[in-house]
């Protein structure tokens, strides 16, 4: 029997999870898929209903100007799901969009199992979010092992599947250099300003000033900027006038190759911090959001750490400079030892080696996610046939 699954991934990090989930689902039998995603899901045969960039927005004051379009896209997605008639709708991260979508599916009487993939960080934000999730979804697949208990206590059945980032193939730094004409003696620094337009706009000028402060001591500095389709043009336009050569790339192979070739990295806080850590790249993480959004965030955030590496390891391994601290001076002081001091580099890399076990659990996370989707569909069908 062919499984019909509709996947909604509102951001590039979700696109990667969705693509790996699709590959794993096909290992278990025939699959027909549709949905919303990016280039990676596209490579798996899912033609996105609309451009993923339209939903890659975070923050109250960033979302408000696009609210009408986002609501229209939710309605279009519900209609498309009605036409496709899937066995399951798998929504990945992007809580604002996907919770609104779930409400509409319930109102429309959609019989598809509603499965959410990536738990909202209720242990960072107000815990009431777990209760609200329980009323919207049939099942939750979590990336971190401590999360199911937080949601099951509110009535939402949950399964720890792990993060499929641990399945990424190691990059080839020498091949990356050769492919892009980068001399072996050049020192590469990776710059990753995020996957949303607002992140790139706020972070990339700061990152340039950081490099200005360090460049004098770095022989043959070359910037590697792996990025995603949602912001590739913005990144390319921004770095073309930098005083150092900069290589902007797309795709998983080049991203992992850039990581393998890089001495250190300066990146936006988020999934990319985990990717860098798993690749063993010493890093500093930074973030700036709309000041009004940040003010609201301070009122409800319950934790002081934001970098997922530090949260998972339960100690400050990666320097994280957020909002007012996200300035060229502090960032340069944090990055300098990771470029020049072998002991500082080795200390971070040793901590990073703990991550894979905590993120992946036993076996392949994408396969556990696929098995969970199939199980929930079977249970939903059994229930509906009683």
Tens place of pLDDT per residue across the chain (386 aa):
899 999 999 888 899 999 999 999 999 999 999 999 999 999 999 999 999 888 765 544 455 556 788 899 999 999 999 999 999 999 998 888 999 999 999 999 999 999 999 998 755 545 567 788 999 999 999 998 889 998 999 999 999 999 999 998 999 999 999 999 999 999 999 999 998 888 999 999 999 999 999 998 898 999 999 999 889 999 999 999 999 999 999 999 999 999 999 999 999 988 899 999 999 999 999 988 655 444 434 443 445 667 889 988 989 999 999 878 999 999 999 999 999 999 999 999 999 998 887 887 677 999 999 999 999 999 988 766 54
CATH label, 3-161+361-385, candidates 3.30.450.40, 3.10.25.10, 3.40.50.2000, 3.50.50.60: 3.40.50.2000
The domain ranges of the chain are 3-161+361-385, 173-359
Q: What is the pLDDT of residue 146?
A: 86
Q: What is the pLDDT of residue 66?
A: 67
Pair 261, 296: CB distance under 8 Å: no
Q: What is the pLDDT of residue 293?
A: 46
The pTM assigned to this predicted structure is: 0.86
Q: What is the pLDDT of residue 301?
A: 46
Residue with tokens 């971070």: 348
Please count the other Cβ atoms lying within 10 Å of the Cβ belonging to residue 2.
Answer: 9
What are the distances in angstroms from CA 236 to CA 223, 265, 286?
A: 12, 18, 20
How far, in whole angstroms, is CA 333 from its chain's centroid?
27
Q: What is the pLDDT of residue 357?
A: 77
Q: How far is 345 from 318, CA to CA, in rounded Å?
A: 11
Q: Among candidates 204, 205, 198, 206, which has minimal Cα distance to 291?
A: 198
Q: What is the pLDDT of residue 276?
A: 97
Q: How far is 152 from 161, CA to CA, in rounded Å?
A: 15
- Domain topology for 173-359: Rossmann fold (3.40.50)
Q: Do domains 3-161+361-385 and 173-359 have the same CATH topology?
A: yes
Rounded (10°) CA dihedral 367, 33, 381, 360: 20
């Amino acid at each position: 029997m062919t499984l019909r699954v509709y996947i909604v991934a509102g951001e590039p990090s979700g696109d990667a999870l969705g693509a790996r989930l699709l590959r794993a689902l096909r290992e278990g039998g025939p699959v027909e898929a549709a949905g919303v995603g990016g280039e990676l899901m596209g490579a798996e045969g899912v033609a996105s209903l609309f451009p993923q960039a339209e939903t890659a927005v975070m923050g109250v004051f960033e979302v408000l100007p696009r609210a009408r379009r986002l609501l229209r896209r939710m309605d279009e997605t519900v209609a498309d799901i009605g036409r496709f008639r899937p066995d399951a709708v798998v929504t990945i991260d992007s809580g604002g969009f996907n919770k609104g979508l779930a409400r509409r599916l319930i109102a429309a009487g959609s019989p598809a199992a509603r499965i959410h993939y990536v738990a909202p960080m209720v242990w960072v934000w107000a815990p009431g979010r777990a209760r609200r999730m329980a009323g919207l979804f049939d099942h939750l697949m979590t990336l971190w092992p401590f999360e199911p208990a937080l949601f099951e206590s509110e009535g939402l059945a949950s399964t720890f599947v792990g993060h499929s980032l641990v399945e990424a193939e190691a990059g080839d730094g020498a091949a990356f250099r050769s492919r892009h004409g980068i001399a072996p003696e050049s020192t590469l620094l990776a710059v990753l300003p995020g996957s949303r337009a607002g992140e790139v706009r706020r972070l990339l000028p700061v990152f340039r000033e950081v490099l200005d402060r360090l460049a004098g001591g770095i022989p043959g500095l070359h910037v590697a900027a792996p990025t995603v389709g949602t912001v590739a043009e913005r990144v390319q336009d921004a770095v073309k006038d930098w005083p150092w050569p900069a290589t902007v790339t797309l795709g998983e192979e080049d991203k992992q190759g850039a990581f393998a070739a890089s001495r250190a990295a300066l990146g936006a806080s988020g999934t990319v911090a985990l990717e860098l850590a798993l690749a063993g790249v010493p890093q500093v993480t930074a973030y700036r959001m709309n000041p009004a959004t940040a003010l609201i965030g301070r009122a409800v955030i319950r934790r002081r750490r934001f970098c997922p590496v530090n949260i998972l390891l339960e100690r400050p391994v990666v320097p994280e400079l957020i909002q007012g601290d996200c300035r060229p001076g502090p960032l340069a002081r944090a990055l300098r030892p990771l470029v020049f001091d072998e002991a500082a580099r080795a200390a971070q890399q040793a901590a990073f080696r703990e991550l894979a076990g905590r993120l992946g659990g036993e076996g392949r996370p994408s396969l556990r996610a696929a098995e969970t989707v199939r199980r929930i569909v079977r249970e939903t069908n059994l229930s509906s046939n009683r």
